[in-house]
Amino acid sequence: MTDYLFPKNFFWGTASSGPQTEGRFDGDGKGDNIWDFWYEKEPQRFFNQVGPDKTSYNYKRFKEDVALMKATGHNSFRTSIQWSRLIPDGTGEVNPEALAFYNAYIDEQIKNGIEPFMNLYHFDMPMPLQEKGGWLNRETVEGYVHYAKTCFELFGDRVKYWFTHNEPIVPVEGGYLYDFHYPNEKNLRHAIQVGFNEALASALAIQAYHEDQDGQIGIILNLTPSYPRDENNPEDVKAAKIADAFFNRSFLDPAIKGEYPEDLVAIVKELDMVPEHTAADLEAIKQHTIDILGVNYYQPRRIKAKDNPADKNPDCPMPEDYFDNYDMPGKKMNPYRGWEIYEKGIYDIMINVRDNYGNIPCFISENGMGVEGEERYINADGQIEDDYRIDFIKDHLRYLHQAIQEGANCLGYHLWTCMDNWSWTNAYKNRYGLIAVDLDKEAKRTIKKSGYFFKELADQNGFKD
Ligand code: BG6
């Protein structure tokens, strides 16, 4: 039997976000964000046409939800403040209803021994700012810094772990390359500008935080280790390195090293797509790097050299002009989400951060398995027996444990997610929670088998097997 014991004070918990859990209610004063707007315009793009107003009603039920967090072993929990709830028009007055809600929610967590981790931006651009270009517009950077400072002033006395963005590459990919977020553009020049402005906004918020706050501030990145089809084929290796530059190092390097990777800069220059910026912007990115890194890990990226290098549209350059995605035979899949499950990826990321990023303090900020149709696993007592999720968690924790044994500076593990929640255009298709939410029964919450497993895991600070 092996004992997988984790370091003292390890963070055990889950992650979620404001837009995916809170819901929207008459009189709550929330302004529209891009999800409210897009759903209104194209409800058919959302699974079963379930929109952002119908998320798990956490706004009204947060006390019950915090009690459930406690029952499932949380000593920490991450959510996000919704910018459009706190400051409905993006830049003006604070909404008093939102202030009361976030204060009460944070206090409830602390009262129950749950350390609040707070993220500032989870894909949810306020609509008045999107109308002026969203992250493409420099004014959004200023608006974001104002919003971030407001959050630090209002909640910084109790929240000691802050994050500037969750997965900033996703609004770039979804909104400006691959059509799964509003504004549904396909424009690499815009994608690069959006990514730069997000990184700049992050640095400026970190600067503001460090001026008068005493906790830690970081960023949460979805790192997808890029594996070449054939490690002995230099063309595959080169292609994988370029994919890594586009999707991982584009945020990882500025966040930790304060500068962009040379290979990415060379490509952007060659494309003549250097984003608009000033020398002061680069200096801000250089100076204001993160204290702590959140790593979201779901799947790796398999890459090969392009089968046909000429296969590109000169009018619409894309990252895939430099590599092909490789459909590796025999890979283990999560069939519902269509994502590969490769547990060792979590180890490889940790070792990369240890060796190439100064072993900065980090934690797993998301990892999880979305499954469709979990009702079929309900037992006679009404509990979902999600043994596959328990196995998924253990399989990843074994590798995480190994990385920690080998010196990785990993402080915790947060699962995605606490209770089933609304996931953008996938809405409630795939369920990720430790706790089931029954939408047909007024969002009734029931702890799944994995929730009880997680409690034991946290109580024992690990597991044996
Ligand atoms: C993560 C995001 O990448 O994946 C979450 O941070 C999201 O917001 C989660 O809900 C699962 O996504 P999906 O697309 O499988 O529903």
**Does 402 contact ligand 1 (Cβ within 6 A)?**
no
Q: At what angle do helices 188-212 and 250-257 cross, to 10 degrees?
A: 30
Q: Which atom of ligand 1 is nearest to the CA of 170?
A: 3
Give a three-class secondary structure readout of 66-103.
HHHHHHCCCCEEEEECCHHHHCCCCCCCCCHHHHHHHH
Cβ-contact 440, 434 below 8 angstroms: no
Residues comprising the chain, all counted: 465
Alpha helices in 213-271 (DSSP H): 234-244, 250-257, 262-270
Percent of the chain with pLDDT over 70: 100
425 Cα to the center of ligand 1, angstroms: 10
Give the pLDDT score at 140: 98
CA separation for the pair 161, 147 (Å, rounded)? 17
**Does 55 contact ligand 1 (Cβ within 6 A)?**
no
Q: Is the peptide bond before 183 cis (omega within 30 degrees of 0)?
A: yes
**Does 166 contact ligand 1 (Cβ within 6 A)?**
yes
Give the pLDDT score at 358: 98
CB atoms within 10 A of CB 321: 18
Q: pLDDT tens across 214-225, in order?
A: 999 999 999 999
Q: Which mutation among 222, 298, 424 tests ligand 1's pocket best, with the greatest number of atoms within 8 A of CB?
A: 424
Query: What are the tokens at 95?
Result: 């909404």
Helix (H) or strand (E) holding 413: strand 410-416
291 Cα to the center of ligand 1, angstroms: 24
Q: At what angle do helices 58-71 and 449-460 cross, to 10 degrees?
A: 60
CB atoms within 10 A of CB 464: 9
Domain count of the chain?
A: 1
113 Cα to the center of ligand 1, angstroms: 27
**Does 167 contact ligand 1 (Cβ within 6 A)?**
yes
Nearest protein Cα to ligand 1, atom 12: 423
**Does 414 contact ligand 1 (Cβ within 6 A)?**
no
**Does 337 contact ligand 1 (Cβ within 6 A)?**
yes
Query: What are the tokens at 119?
Result: 């993220």
Q: Which mutation among 416, 420, 437 tests ligand 1's pocket best, with the greatest number of atoms within 8 A of CB?
A: 416
Q: pLDDT tens across 103-155, in order?
A: 999 999 999 999 999 999 999 999 999 999 999 999 999 999 999 999 999 99
Chain CA centroid to CA 406, Å: 26
Give the pLDDT score at 418: 98
**Does 288 contact ligand 1 (Cβ within 6 A)?**
no
Residue 324 has pLDDT above 90, yes or no: yes
Query: What are the tokens at 424?
Result: 């953008």
Output DSSP code: residue 315.
T
Q: Which of 50, 33, 90, 159 is nearest to 429 (CA)?
A: 50
Query: What are the tokens at 173?
Result: 């990919």
186 Cα to the center of ligand 1, angstroms: 21
Tell me, what CATH number does 135's domain have? Answer: 3.20.20.80
Q: Which atom of ligand 1 is nearest to the CA of 426?
A: 16
Cβ-contact 15, 78 below 8 angstroms: yes
Backbone region of residue 133 per phi and psi (left: phi > 0; alpha: psi in -120 to 50; beta: other values)? left
285 Cα to the center of ligand 1, angstroms: 27
Q: Which of 37, 159, 30 is nearest to 96 (CA)?
A: 30
**Does 374 contact ligand 1 (Cβ within 6 A)?**
no
Nearest protein Cα to ligand 1, atom 9: 423
Count the alpha carbons within 13 Å of 27 in the hemisphere toward its beta carbon: 1
Q: pLDDT tens across 108-120, in order?
A: 999 999 999 999 9
Q: Name the percent of the chain in helix, strand, coil, to the closest 5.
A: 45, 15, 35
Q: Which mutation among 431, 432, 437 tests ligand 1's pocket best, with the greatest number of atoms within 8 A of CB?
A: 432
Output DSSP code: residue 245.
I
Domain that holds residue 214: 3-464
CA separation for the pair 387, 134 (Å, rounded)? 42
Nearest protein Cα to ligand 1, atom 8: 423
Q: pLDDT tens across 244-281, in order?
A: 999 999 999 999 999 999 999 999 999 999 999 999 99
Cβ-contact 335, 310 below 8 angstroms: no
Cβ-contact 200, 277 below 8 angstroms: yes
User: What mean pLDDT value characterizes the chain?
Assistant: 98
Catalytic residue annotation: 366
Binned at pLDDT 50, 70 and 90, residue 1 comes out as: confident
**Does 321 contact ligand 1 (Cβ within 6 A)?**
no
Cβ-contact 415, 296 below 8 angstroms: no
Q: pLDDT tens across 328-364, in order?
A: 999 999 999 999 999 999 999 999 999 999 999 999 9
Q: Which atom of ligand 1 is nearest to the CA of 339?
A: 15
Count the alpha carbons within 13 Å of 1 in the hemisphere toward its beta carbon: 5
423 Cα to the center of ligand 1, angstroms: 6
CA separation for the pair 364, 15 (Å, rounded)? 10
By three-state DSSP, how is residue 116 classified?
strand
416 Cα to the center of ligand 1, angstroms: 8
174 Cα to the center of ligand 1, angstroms: 12
Nearest protein Cα to ligand 1, atom 10: 423
Q: Beta strand pairing status for 339-340 and 161-166?
A: unpaired
Q: What is the mean pLDDT of residues 171-190?
A: 98
Count the alpha carbons within 13 Å of 269 in the hemisphere toward its beta carbon: 7
Count the alpha carbons within 13 Å of 306 in the hemisphere toward its beta carbon: 13
- Residue carrying the six token digits 């759903």: 39
Chain CA centroid to CA 287, Å: 24
Residue 417 has pLDDT above 90, yes or no: yes
Give the pLDDT score at 360: 98
216 Cα to the center of ligand 1, angstroms: 24
Q: Which mutation among 16, 337, 423 tests ligand 1's pocket best, with the greatest number of atoms within 8 A of CB?
A: 423
